[in-house]
Structure 1
Amino acid sequence: MAALDQLHLHQSKRSDVVARIERLPISTWHVKARVIIGVATFFDAFDALAIAFVLPVLVPLWKLAGPQIGLLISAGYLGQLAGALLFSWAAQRYGRVRALQWSILVMSIMSLACAFAWDYRSLLVFRTLQGVGLGGEVPIAAVYISEITRAQGRGRFVLLYELIFPVGLVGAGLIARWVVPVFGWQYMFVIGAIPALLVVFMQRQLPESPRWLATRGRDAEAEAALTFIERETEKATQKPLPPVQTVAAADEQPASWADLFGPKYLRRTLVVWTIWFAAYLITYGLTVWLPTIYRTVFHLSLGQSLQYGLITQVVGLAGTLTCALTIDYFGRRSWFAMAFVGAAAALIALWFIGAQSPLRVLVFVGIAFFFSSVVSIGAYLYTPELYPTRARAMGVGVATAWLRLASMIGPTVVGLMIGGGLENVFLAFGVIAALAAIVTAVFAVETKNRVLEEVSP
């Protein structure tokens, strides 16, 4: 009887935590949390794409062949695959904030190590280890931001945070355009080590997720974290908080694989894996290779190759901003399906008319990247909504593992196929985008403006 009473007490606490989060208006504290984590996410994107902008220098310097280039690109994503699984487990067991801190330290330290790489093999090893940190930071950050945000307007708020990732991609292009020719490729990795300084700010400014603490039965800590957030929100808004309204919370059980593959979640899991794999096969399969393609296939100058790569990233940033501002209106399923159709149309059109000029490649790949960016950023919002708090980090981590798998396969496929003509590469990616559009339109679950515990009991 005492155990049953204790269980009811914990359920009541969880319901209270959810209800109090749902009453919180978006305030400058939420924005501050988004900025602190966003800086880490900016450098995650910066470090992920830095290899694309140093390769035009390293390829002739170290006399790298196509398969070697593909392996160097893919090795980082192999590390990210391991990091996504490792840090999602850590976030589920030890907390979101602690897992974030660990992942940031790993990616920063190994970025600095990459700057001291002396040959192809050493960079391959350091880049793989750096990927472990890169793979853990972004998905856990997405989980944390989702868990401190109420249902109303969650899509816009979370995606405006996620927008920092494509900003980081653009930042990598802008900084590389200046740093690589003037100072050398090593300084891209030195800059990538900066986020290690963030760990101190995270420890002082970000409480642990109250939702996660409540599901772990750590009620006193959940109360303290939530009280801190409420106090900061009241201070920021200079108004009393709205009254608490009853919100049904999930009857939390220990996390299990049924939360990913059970009757309620299996369809969601398969659909979201398809979304991650297809979106990032296109995103990284093409864009990471683009500066090198412009340099080696079309024989553009180093500066022009980097500039064309930067233009593509700016177009992708426009796609992510469009998604962030409209996703709460169109919904997740409709936007993702339309975006996959747009990417498929652009890539198949480029295959049909031929990729004879760098300008034509820039235009059509840019269109495809605009649409693939919609899905690649939206997936970070959508995936945490599909799983209960007890398994949210695990669900997001395993889903983003498909991102890493796609990111390994995509550049490797391009490296193997590029000798047979670019058109076949574009056709293959276009067909994959078309298939993903069908899967998403038919099977995806809509989550717009729904409380997390309602969507995923």
Structure 2
Amino acid sequence: MSAHVLDSDAHRAANAELVARLERLPVTRRLLLVRVIIGIATFFDAYTVLCIAFAMPSLVSEWKLSPAEVGLIISAGYIGQLFGAVIFGSLAEKFGRLKVLFFTIVLFVSMDIACLFAWSGMSMLAFRFMQGIGTGGEVPVASAYINEFIGAHKRGRFFLLYEVIFPIGLMFAGMAGFFLVPIYGWKAMFLVGLVPSVLTLPLRWFMPESPRWLASKGRIDEANAVVGMLENDAIKHGLPLPEPVIRTLDPKATAKSDWRELFQGIYLKRTLTIWSLWFCAYMVNNGLITWLPTLYKSVFKLPLQTSLAYGWITSGVGVLASIVCALLIDKVGRRPWYSWAFLLAMLPLILLTTLGATSPVEVLILATCAYAILQTVTFSLYLYSSELYPTRLRALGTGFGSAWLRAGSATGPILVGFVVGDLGIRYVFSAFAAIALIGGIITVLYAIETKGKVLEELSP
């Protein structure tokens, strides 16, 4: 037997032992600290995504923007996120999760500063595009990173209680818009977005690199040191630490990453399915949440503060729905939850079309229902995406998948802008109902169940 095969066998055995040690770990204080630090970055990532929606009613008046221009500015950030998700997902497989996370946070904070000095619609569009590149890279890499620390039976709850910070960040953007914009103007939204530079960058030094990523690169000693630190943390605080159960890993578990594998074997169907779910869910939800404050003010002629308050209510209900999902999805399962959510979200959208969306209260109640139902899908798809791919492809596959989130998010506001301008508001909701139906059908036909399964067993 060649030395290369021996080395490969030894690598695979060491990786299997490390995975077994990770799988039996309890949720230690160190893991909770990691979740908090990444959560802070994700919170302001979400805030940054939505702050433009609450700044926009003021910008429309100040810069005399048309509905089409508003749609393009809102979409610019999502288009940037599309590029960021693909670029930084690939880099995270090569250089590690932490280095890429640090760079993406620096990028989106620096572009937040640039947005403060925007002087026109085109300058804001350019800065939001660049900011989107950083934002788009941070979330999928952070999701892969968090997932790689947690065992199968705790993964859904632990991860989604981290991920729920994203809709809380969206809600906080609404609160900041409601209280700050009428008094201090739109620039206040971007000033608040500078907080992550104060909090997240120094805390980054308390975070270990992903042991699964280190092991996949053959850096077994470093990976063992990280797992040993977590084990000592558990022992120190009297947490249960059962004996590891070592499972035989597929030889591919220690293979090098190759993006073409996303479109081969079992991963082809998974890739196309998750792309479709990302696109459908985010096209509807981000099309709704980013446009609603402007619609209330421009179409229904509500006062600025009322328009912002209505947008904040929608975000707040979305947070409550997300918390319910985080607590229950490990019991219900991913596939049945997503199937029902897509199909149920159609009902208020169809009702809005039927009623004609003639009053702001009507839109508030029914659009909020649709948004909250689909929010349980949008905020948990990072969990599902990370479960569908092996360590060598996890950040890359999640990044490619979330690129379709960005495509859907960019398409939604543009669609709303043109449909409202040409056909009227009621037809926006009928288009979104059709998209939700497509998402539901795809989930029922092609999605797989992942709850309670070890990552290495799900994805060899």
**TM-score (normalised: structure 1):** 0.98
Within 5 Å, give how 1:336-351 maps onto structure 2.
336-351=338-353
Q: Which of 432, 436, 440 matches 2:435?
A: 432
Alpha-carbon deviations, 1:375-394, whole Å to 9, x = none? Answer: 10120110000001001111
Find the aligned partners of 2:23 and 2:410 in 1 and give their Cα distance.
Answer: 39
Within 5 Å, give how 1:51-450 maps onto structure 2.
51-235=52-236, 237-239=237-239, 241-251=241-251, 252-419=254-421, 420-450=423-453
* Range 186-195 or range 321-330, more displaced: 186-195
Task: Output the amino acid matched with 2:386.
Answer: P
Alpha-carbon deviations, 1:266-315, whole Å to 9, x = none? Answer: 11111111110010001111110000000000000000000000000011
Alpha-carbon deviations, 1:84-126, whole Å to 9, x = none? Answer: 1111011111111111111100000110110111222221111
Find the aligned partners of 1:370 and 1:347 in 2 and give their Cα distance.
Answer: 12
| Displacement of 1:239 | 4.0
Q: Structure 2: any 5+ residue segments left out of the alignment?
A: none
Change (3 A) 1:102 1:356: same
Q: Structure 1: any 5+ residue segments left out of the alignment?
A: none
Task: Output the amino acid matched with 1:249.
Answer: L
Find the aligned partners of 1:286 and 1:226 in 2 and give their Cα distance.
Answer: 43
Find the aligned partners of 2:417 and 2:201 in 1 and give their Cα distance.
Answer: 41
Asked if 2 retains the 8 angstrom alpha-carbon contact of 1:344 and 1:434, the reply is: yes
Task: Output the amino acid matched with 1:373.
Answer: Q
Task: Output the amino acid matched with 2:57.
Answer: P
* Range 242-251 or range 109-118, more displaced: 242-251
* Range 105-114 or range 193-202, more displaced: 193-202
Asked if 2 retains the 8 angstrom alpha-carbon contact of 1:350 and 1:364, the reply is: yes
**TM-score (normalised: structure 2):** 0.97
Alpha-carbon deviations, 1:332-360, whole Å to 9, x = none? Answer: 00000000011111111211121000000
Task: Output the amino acid matched with 1:168.
Answer: G
Task: Output the amino acid matched with 1:97.
Answer: L
| Displacement of 1:3 | 1.2
Change (3 A) 1:99 1:293: same
**Percent pairwise identity:** 46
Q: Which of 448, 453, 456 matches 1:453?
A: 456
Asked if 1 retains the 8 angstrom alpha-carbon contact of 2:28 and 2:230, the reply is: no
Asked if 2 retains the 8 angstrom alpha-carbon contact of 1:248 and 1:453, the reply is: no
Tell me the residue number matched to 2:14: 13
| Displacement of 1:202 | 4.1
Tell me the residue number matched to 1:26: 27
Asked if 1 retains the 8 angstrom alpha-carbon contact of 2:293 and 2:311, the reply is: yes
Task: Output the amino acid matched with 1:60.
Answer: S
| Displacement of 1:198 | 4.0
Asked if 2 retains the 8 angstrom alpha-carbon contact of 1:319 and 1:371, the reply is: yes
Find the aligned partners of 1:112 and 1:352 in 2 and give their Cα distance.
Answer: 44
Asked if 2 retains the 8 angstrom alpha-carbon contact of 1:29 and 1:233, the reply is: no
The alignment partner of 1:143 has SS state of helix
Task: Output the amino acid matched with 1:384.
Answer: S
| Displacement of 1:230 | 2.0
Asked if 1 retains the 8 angstrom alpha-carbon contact of 2:37 and 2:200, the reply is: no
Change (3 A) 1:406 1:240: closer
Find the aligned partners of 2:248 and 2:147 in 1 and give their Cα distance.
Answer: 18
